Amino acid sequence: MTRTAVIAGVGPGLGASLARTFADEGCAVGLFARSEDYMADLAADLREETAGDALAVPTDLTDPDQIHEGFAAVRDEFGPVDILVNHASAAPWKGLSAVSHDEFQQALDVGVTGALHCSQEAVADMREGDGGTVIFTGATTSVRGRKGSVAFSAAKFGARGLAESMARELGPEGIHVAHVVIDGGILHPEREVQNEHEYLDPDAIAESYWHLVEQDRSAWTLELDLRPHVEAF
């Protein structure tokens, strides 16, 4: 049976790798982001090159109405949602004195409130079905505040708290909630780096996310920590 996945926050890099990996596994994937042209091209590639299907859904993840409409579009095309990845974030790289109210609020609206509304939509489907999986993309700053980035740190801490609370609430209902700490830089397809071994491969990260989806209910992971081997310990 085809599973329906929503990737909330899709762009070049890890978002695209997640979409491709899930589609390769036969999922029908809803792609949420504001970048309409990019998502349309990615969806077309996934339909042509993978075992799954894809739908581009232009969505402002700070707008609850657009989120609701986006999930309705995915349900109309593919059916109820089985998998959600809360992947979106906003990152003004500014410290305490430099960050504005609007920049700070944007980080919270995208990374925490947007994830809340996406989770409410997806979990409603999962509760009516046979459970499902919700995965949050975290970062080093989810567990250790980053100097000079108060908004991003606050949002990532908030999303981690949301994930942990949801896991304890929803686990008994057969809904797996996991938080992934990406502890390092991620290779980007459009940027050159001096030493690739110092970065995480987005395709490898995406495989780890798929492992979370496939885990047996007797041994679910709450938090997964991923880092490049040259940085390890």
The CA distance from 232 to 174, in Å, is 33
Nearest to 200 by CA among 181, 214, 215, 213: 181
- Is residue 230 pLDDT above 80, yes or no? no
Looking at residue 127, its amino acid is: R
* Gap between the Cα atoms of 93 and 213, Å rounded: 32
Question: What is the spatial distance between Cα 56 and Cα 32, in angstroms, rounded to a whole number?
Answer: 7
Query: Tell me: the pLDDT tens digits for 6-41?
Result: 999 999 999 999 999 999 999 999 999 998 899 999
Give 84's strand partners. Answer: 6, 134
pTM of the predicted model as reported, rounded to 2 decimal places = 0.95
Which pair of structure tokens corresponds to residue 186? 């991620």
Q: Please give the pLDDT value at position 180.
A: 98
The structural domains of the chain, with segments of one domain joined by +, span: 4-231
CATH number corresponding to 4-231: 3.40.50.720
Annotate 207-229 with b (16+ C-beta within 10 A) or e (fewer).
ebbbebbeeeeeeebebbebebe
Cα–Cα distance for residue pair 59/11, rounded to 1 Å: 13
For residue 157, the model assigns a pLDDT of 97
Q: What is the mean pLDDT of the chain?
A: 94
**Residue reference for tokens 């995406």:** 206
Q: What is the pLDDT of residues 108-150, one digit of tens each?
A: 999 999 999 999 999 999 999 999 999 999 999 999 998 999 9
pLDDT digits (tens, 9 = 90+) for 164-218: 999 999 999 999 999 999 999 888 776 666 677 788 999 999 999 999 999 999 9
Locate all alpha helices (DSSP H) within the chain, ordered by sequence: 14-24, 36-49, 64-78, 101-108, 114-128, 150-170, 202-214
